[in-house]
């Protein structure tokens, strides 16, 4: 009886430890995935904005940047798809959504545009000429199915205001 009791206690402890470890390792994996995709998106977005010579069709969910290439310029389109919760980056505009998703599991996303003084533009197209800074903010959330015993993991990022360095202030 003593042996059985001890064995049960040890087994219970071992099983609960393994459950704890597996849950937390899965959580770490999700966090690391979000961190990686977030940093990558911030880096590529910053590079594109800094390189862009012009900006067109700015909305809170999409923007098109004219980026210089060795043979001229190409449009790089960023588009947030609300239904799939993804942000796509399409270089050389050939239809939105054809590129692999840059960010996934998004629950909210927005671009914000500012003038040279840092004032945000509430009405975008009317102030297209004056846009000199762009930032993006997003919130990604792990799906509820990865681990039903823990709340979903939230990952929120507000980027720096990146300057359109190559875009002239006046047309």
Partner 1 sequence: MTGQRLTKHSGFTLVDVMMGATILVVGLVGLIEAVLIGSEMQATARRQTTASQIVSNEIELLRLQDWATISALPAGTTSLAAWNGATLYHITDLVSFGGSWFRCIASNTGQSTANLSYWAIYSGPIASTGIDSAATFGVSRTVATGPNGLVEMTFTVTWVTKPSGSPVSRTYTRIATAYFGQYGLNLTYRRT
Q: Report which secondary-structure segment, H or E, holds 92.
A: none
**DSSP summary character for residue 119:** P
Parallel/antiparallel/unpaired status of strands 86-91 and 72-81: antiparallel
Cβ atoms < 10 Å from Cβ of 118 = 9
Binding mask 1-30 for partner 1 (x = CB under 8 A): -xx--xx--x--xx--x--xx--xx-xx--
Residue 152 is encoded by which pair of tokens?
């979903």
Site for partner 1 in 59-118 (CB under 8 A): 112, 116-118
Work out which of 80, 87, 102, 132 binds partner 1, going by CB under 8 A.
132
By CB under 8 A, how many residues form the interface with partner 1? 41
Only one residue has tokens 């940093």, namely 39
Residue 62 belongs to what H/E stretch? strand 62-69
40 binds partner 1 (CB under 8 A): no
Between residues 28 and 144, which has the closer beta carbon with respect to partner 1?
28
Instruction: Please identify which residue in 19, 39, 56, 125 interacts with partner 1, judged by CB under 8 A.
Output: 39
SS3 170: coil
Indicate whether 31 belongs to the interface with partner 1 (CB under 8 A): yes
The tally of CA atoms less than 13 A away on the side-chain side of residue 155 is 20
- Chain contacts with partner 1 (rule: CB under 8 A): 2-3, 6-7, 10, 13-14, 17, 20-21, 24-25, 27-28, 31-32, 35, 38-39, 42, 46, 112, 116-120, 132-133, 135, 137, 155-163, 165
């Amino acid at each position: 009886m003593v042996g059985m009791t001890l064995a049960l206690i040890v087994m219970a402890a071992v099983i609960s430890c393994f459950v704890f470890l597996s849950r937390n390792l899965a959580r770490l994996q999700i966090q690391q995935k979000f961190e990686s995709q977030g940093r990558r998106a911030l880096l590529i977005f910053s590079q594109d904005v800094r390189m862009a010579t012009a900006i067109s069709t700015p909305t809170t969910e999409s923007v098109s940047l004219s980026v210089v290439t060795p043979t001229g310029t190409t449009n790089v389109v960023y588009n947030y798809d609300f239904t799939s919760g993804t942000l796509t980056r399409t270089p050389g505009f050939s239809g939105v959504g054809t590129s692999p998703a840059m960010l996934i599991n998004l629950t909210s996303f927005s671009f914000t545009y500012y003038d040279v003084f840092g004032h945000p533009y509430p009405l975008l197209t009317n102030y297209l000429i004056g846009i000199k800074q762009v930032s993006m903010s997003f919130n990604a959330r792990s799906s509820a199915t990865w681990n039903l015993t823990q709340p979903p993991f939230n990952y929120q990022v507000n980027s720096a205001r990146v300057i359109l360095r190559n875009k002239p202030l006046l047309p």
